[in-house]
Amino acid sequence: MFAVIKTGGRQYRVVPDDVLEIGKIAGDVGTIVQLGEVLLVGGESPVLGTPTVAGASVAAEVLQHKRGPKVIAFKKRRRKNSRRKRGYRDEITVLRITEILTNDNKPTIGPRPKREKPIVTEPADGDDEAPKAAKKKATPKKAVAKAAAKPRAKPDAKKAAAKKSDKK
């Protein structure tokens, strides 16, 4: 069974377990929302709406709210030193279609539980794993550079004599 729904000025063909991105709609993440504008319910005997199918709706779970790709509108008038750059990003809601309802039915499938990451427990005995090698600390570069530096050379005798004569 499939349905054609209208939301945000666009039409979508949906089947259960479809994931689709539509314009932003109200609803918290994890809740079930009902989309009421169903234009067609298909299956063995398709039902066309005039303009919508009476009593039909589509239940969907809100997976996330996000922003779409950046769209840049750049206008330029040549030889006039005139240009304008505007950009925007659409607000998007990601939905998972849970079921297609007819005859004014209510959704029977609730929100899916979130998958939790499995917790990896370390073995109680330390014998199962090899001990980790200790990290070696690198010697600081400054200490190495100071040790390698040469002692300062004494000034020439002529320069020293010139300095002494200047002081008198």
Q: Are 68 and 89 in contact (CB under 8 A)?
A: yes
pTM of the entire structure? 0.60
Ramachandran category for residue 30: left, alpha or beta (phi over 0 → left; psi -120 to 50 → alpha): left
Nearest CA among 93, 99, 84, 2 for reference residue 46: 2
pLDDT for the residue numbered 150: 60
CA gap 51, 47 in Å, rounded: 11
> DSSP readout, 10-62?
EEEEE-TT-EEEEE--S--TT-EEEE--EEEEESSS-EE-SSS-TT-EEEEEE
pLDDT per residue over 49-101, tens digit each?
889 999 999 999 999 999 999 999 999 999 999 999 999 999 999 999 999 99
Residue boundaries of the structural domains of the chain:
2-101
Instruction: Label residue 106 by pLDDT band (50, 70, 90).
Output: confident
